[in-house]
Amino acid sequence: MDGESERTCDLYSPAAFETISLQWVRIGWSLRYYHNFQWMGHPVLQLPEDLIRLQEAVYRIRPDVIVETGVFQGGSLMFHATLCQALGKGRVIGIDNQIGAGVREAIGGHWLAPRISLVEGDSTSREVVGAVARMIQPGETVLVILDSCHTKEHVTRELECYSRFVTRGSYIIVADGVMRDLTDVPGGQVEWVSDNPLAAANEFAARHPEFRQQQRDDISANVTYWPGAWLERVA
């Protein structure tokens, strides 16, 4: 139902899958479904479907460096580092405005610690971006994931700061664009209609023809918290 209109479709069709999946994602977000998962003992606040798609990209690209803004308790950094360990190459740089002593200790004491570096500070500050630049060697393949803040303004700044590191054939990934579709769920906010990561990704893609925005599945509205997130460097 949409106001006074009604649309029907075959249950076993792409249209039905997309409609049901969107509602499943919306309800799951409102119930904090994504809080149910850990990786190597550390909470990872991501939808499992997105992590599976991410590992597909990492397996194909085999990056030397994975940069992620947003650390929380380190679960996603552990996930990336595990992939690097399995591939026998690569390291992870995690950036956050504040990284608690407990998080540092837990990550530093883990057997994957040699593959993980932490940078504390504003992800868009000159100091932090410069520190990351010094940690990337010429010729290395780099993949970037942005998940530190969900306002359009901040994500736009991160895109401009970190897209320069992304190598051809790799991606800069903008997490949690699903916020656009959550304005009416418990905890949702009206301003999310336009103030969300997806809006930043859309405008970045329009300004930067060297990047191509894409979905990673044949079904246009797949089960994801990251719609429109995949910005591939093509030039």
Interval 160-177: pLDDT, tens = 999 999 999 999 999 999
Average pLDDT over residues 46-52: 95
Interval 51-103: pLDDT, tens = 999 999 999 999 999 999 999 999 999 999 999 999 999 999 999 999 999 99
Percent of the chain topping pLDDT 90: 86
How much is the pLDDT for 219?
47
Structure tokens at 199: 């809006």
Distances (CA, A) of 144 to 24, 100, 231: 28, 22, 10
How much is the pLDDT for 46?
95
How much is the pLDDT for 214?
84
Pick the CATH number of 14-233 from 3.40.30.10, 3.40.50.150, 3.20.10.10, 3.40.50.300: 3.40.50.150
Lowest pLDDT segment from 17-21, 84-88, 148-152: 17-21
Q: How many residues does the chain have?
A: 235
Confidence at 1, pLDDT banded by 50, 70, 90? very low
Average pLDDT of the chain? Answer: 93
Q: Is the pLDDT of residue 4 over 70?
A: no
Domain ranges of the chain: 14-233
DSSP SS3 for 3 = coil
How much is the pLDDT for 220?
56
Confidence at 3, pLDDT banded by 50, 70, 90? low
The span from the CA of 110 to the CA of 85, in Å, is 13
Q: Is the pLDDT of residue 226 over 70?
A: yes
The span from the CA of 163 to the CA of 21, in Å, is 30
